[in-house]
Copies of this chain bind each other. A is one copy, B any other.
């Protein structure tokens, strides 16, 4: 590979990883289980998502996501920011992201607002870049309830758990 080819490949890797994370976050909101599954390596992905749980494989995440989101009326909004993507070599990369998350339960009228950092590692597979490790570091959580008469009731402000 020439030097120019190497530089182009690096830019392509960064663009593909940016798209991978976007696809993952949008798939969570769309409750598209197959698309979520396809964002991770097939076996052994490490997923550390307090307070929801820690998983040693993408199937663990899929299981809890199915319980909490895919089979309930909740409406989620996962929005990613401030990507610091570092291409380590041809097959390995890492990134820090900042997430804004809102979840709303239309029957219970409860919501959660969360800001976190994601600390991710990615590997290049024969199908393209995939998430091998993703750790969420919660920074700010607001839990509340929508009440028509009294406005938005904030039930508790958990301390950052990071």
Interface on A for B, CB 8 Å cutoff?
4-5, 7-8, 11-12, 14-15, 18-19, 21-23, 25-26, 29-30, 75, 77-85, 96, 98, 100, 102, 104, 106, 109, 115, 117, 139-140, 142, 144, 146-148, 150-157, 159-160
Contacts and interface: CB of A to CB of B under 8 A. Distances in A.
A26 B157 CA distance: 22
A102 B79 CA distance: 15
Contacts of A156: 148
A23 to B, nearest CB: 5
Nearest to A25: B82
A80 B82 contact: yes
A3 to B, nearest CB: 9
B81 A80 contact: yes
A115 B139 contact: no
A23 B109 CA distance: 35
Given A77-B100, A81-B79, A104-B140, A109 B4 contact: no
B98 A79 contact: yes
Contacts of A15: 11, 14
Given A4-B5, A23-B84, A29-B117, 4 more contacts: A77-B100, A77-B115, A79-B82, A142-B146
A159 B139 CA distance: 29
B140 A147 contact: no
A157 B77 contact: no
